[in-house]
Amino acid sequence: MRKLSLLIGILLLSIPVVQSQDCSKYYPLTSNTEFQITSYDKRDRVNAIIDYKVQEVAPFETGEKATVLSSVKDKNGDLIVENNVDMTCVDGVVSMDFKSMISPQLFKQYEGMEIEMTGTNLDFPNSLAEGDELPDADVLMKINMGGINMNMNLKVSNRKVIGRETITTPAGTFDCYIISYDNEVDMGLRKVNSAKQWIAEGVGMVKQEDYKRNGTIVSKSVLTHFNKS
């Protein structure tokens, strides 16, 4: 259970959401824009390195849809898995496909098995202000393991904008909004952690920290590279 939670936590909400400046001031959407998120454990040791590249941007309803390639590497830089993530921006709201809340590493672990997924997308509204409450999101994953069924439910709730802070990472210095939330994983055994995410105008996610219920930090993810073509 703990291992699976860590796998999920590596990418949960750490995908640098990207969108058009006409749709939102926070996230640029341009083909070939590149991001890199490095995930660390509680002792600041590298867990994984995730590279993102905007592959394609196309019209979608009253906004746009982006396809982003994520490449997950281990601490030695060896490729673990690649995955495409779809995101839309409509009327000033970015909607992240609920499937993107699950780490590609977890999909790799159950490769070849029958998987059924349902859920609610993760939304980021155009305007943010301290005190705002953001919509919940969830995903239910049903895995058929050769006649043995396993269910996993992941829920993100209590999302709130709690303040602003200037953050410096290897990618630069950014003025960020801070979003806090609860992260619940239920695989027969329910586990609830909390997290904070820092997002910057024109960039997206800059930093994320995950905590135990007692406030002890479990892991963190940091923007280590950003290049807008």
| Predicted TM-score of the model (pTM) | 0.84
Q: Show Cβ contacts of residue 73 under 8 Å, excluding neighbours closer than 6 positions.
A: 48, 49, 50, 51, 79, 80
pLDDT by residue (tens digit) across 84-96? 888 888 888 888 8
102-106, 150-154, 198-202: segment of lowest average pLDDT: 102-106
Q: Is the pLDDT of residue 15 over 70?
A: no
Please list the alpha-helical segments (H only) found in 121-177.
none
Q: Is the pLDDT of residue 40 over 50?
A: yes
Return the pLDDT at 27.
64
Query: Hey, which bits of 43-171 come out as E strands?
Result: 46-60, 63-73, 79-90, 93-96, 114-120, 122-125, 133-134, 137-145, 148-169
Q: Is the pLDDT of residue 20 over 50?
A: no
